[in-house]
Every structure is written in C-alpha cells, then in structure tokens.
Amino acid sequence: MNLLIVEDERELSNALAVLLEHQGYQIDVAYDGEEGLNKIHSNYYDGMVFDRMMPKMDGVRLLQTIRSEGNTTPVILLTAKSEVEDRVEGLNAGANDYLSKPFSMKELIARIEAMLRSSSASTSGELHFKDVLLKKDSEELQSKFSVISLCRKEVNLLTVFFKTPGKLIEKNICLSQLGPDADLKELKIYIAYLNNKLASIKADTQIIETAEGYLLSD
C-alpha cells in the first residue's frame, strides 16, 4: 500500500518513513503542504499522514483543499496541540483520525492500520446514483434494464464520481484512480469506456469533460 507523509520536521518524517517501510508500506514524503498537494495531485495513495503545523500550507488547509477536490483518501492529522477545538477543526476539515504529539510510533502504526482497514471496509459495497447501482465488490454497473461488468480501474474512477456527483473532479484526481503510470490519453479512453457503459445500461447520466476536469451530470 502507498502512504504519503507530509511533515516538515525532517527527522520525524524520515524516521516515520523508515519505520513504515519496514512494515511493508511504500512511502512518499513531502516537507510542506504545497509539496504534499503536488504529490497528491500526481500520485495515488491509500492513506496519508499530515502534520497540523507546516510552512506554505498547513495540514488543515491541505486537507480542506483535497477534500474539496473530491479526494477521499483517509488521512491522519498529527497535531502538537491536544485542545478539543483543534481536534474538532481537524476532523471537520475531513481528517479520519488525529494523533497528538508527542506520540508513540507503535500507536501511529496501529492507527494507520485501523484507518486503512476501515477505509477499505467503507469503500467496499455499493454506491447509488440516480437509477444506477455501482457494485464495487462484484465490479458491476447495474440499472433496471441491464448489467455490465467493469474492470478495477473503471470501478475506482467511477467511485470518485459517484461519491461527488455534479462536482468537478480535477483530471489529476481522476488520473490517480488509474494508478501511477496513467496519462491523460489513457484517462480519456477510460472516461469513454465508462460513458459507453453508462449509455449501454440506459443510465440517466454521463461523465462530462470540461477544461479543468470531469463531472458526473446530475
């Protein structure tokens, strides 16, 4: 699994990276919020750890930005403060969990594992939009007229649209659903596959391309 650590304290982030790599994760590290955002736009991550206080863009703003873009990757927020208001602010911004500094590495690893478990449980199952059902486990798209199979990449891509219908999703976010090697040409083909599959089951929706990205018509 791929994890991103966005933490400006280099000693801490490097120690975290070594430890988590030892646990079998692929780790990417960014040292400020803006670098973190760039990495999120260009890579796919299963989970992320953000420091609350960082130069350029703090952890809460980074979180708000990616959530507003439709990115639902689970995030743990590291905070030096343990005040209730800070914790609430982090959770409200879209954090899945938080941990107050100083923390034990053991606890952070346990929380990451718990977050990834609950994320994979909540992203399994079924998503509805209009008259269409996306069955993620069986990788099928179903309407009252017909059912059609999807591949894993199509399921991942359509999941983002089904979670945020009518909202513009940036092309980079769409790309991250196709894996690290995907490019815009490949994305275009996958969007065309999905649109033809939506049409084939007579779904009352299509994915529309704009200059900035794509959105699922509602």
Asked whether the bond before 165 is cis by omega within 30 degrees of 0, the reply is no
Nearer to other proteins, 44 or 193 (CB): 193
Q: Which of 80, 105, 184, 192 binds other proteins (CB under 8 A)?
A: 192
Q: Which of 61, 67, 167, 197 binds other proteins (CB under 8 A)?
A: 197
Closest distance between other proteins and the C-beta of residue 205, in Å? 16
- For residue 103, what are the CA distances in angstroms to 52, 81, 98, 206? 14, 12, 11, 46
Closest distance between other proteins and the C-beta of residue 202, in Å? 7
Phi, then psi, of 127 in degrees rounded to 5: -125, 135
200 binds other proteins (CB under 8 A): yes
Closest distance between other proteins and the C-beta of residue 208, in Å? 17
Query: By CB under 8 A, what part of segment 134-163 binds other proteins?
Result: 138, 140, 145-151
In three-state form (DSSP H/G/I as H, E/B as E, the rest C), the secondary structure along 9-44 is CHHHHHHHHHHHHHCCCEEEEECCHHHHHHHHHHCC
What is d(CA 100, CA 52) in angstroms, rounded to the nearest whole number? 10
Nearer to other proteins, 149 or 210 (CB): 149
Nearer to other proteins, 105 or 192 (CB): 192
> Which of the stretches 45-53, 114-122, 194-202, 206-214 binds other proteins when contact is defined by CB under 8 A?
194-202
> Can you give the C-alpha Rg of the chain in angstroms?
18
What is d(CA 95, CA 90) in angstroms, rounded to the nearest whole number? 6
203 binds other proteins (CB under 8 A): no
Tell me the two tokens of residue 25. Answer: 């994760």
Total residues binding other proteins (CB under 8 A): 16
Nearer to other proteins, 53 or 148 (CB): 148
What is d(CA 114, CA 106) in angstroms, rounded to the nearest whole number? 12
184 binds other proteins (CB under 8 A): no
Query: Which residues are at the interface with other proteins (CB under 8 A)?
Result: 138, 140, 145-151, 189, 192-193, 196-197, 200, 202
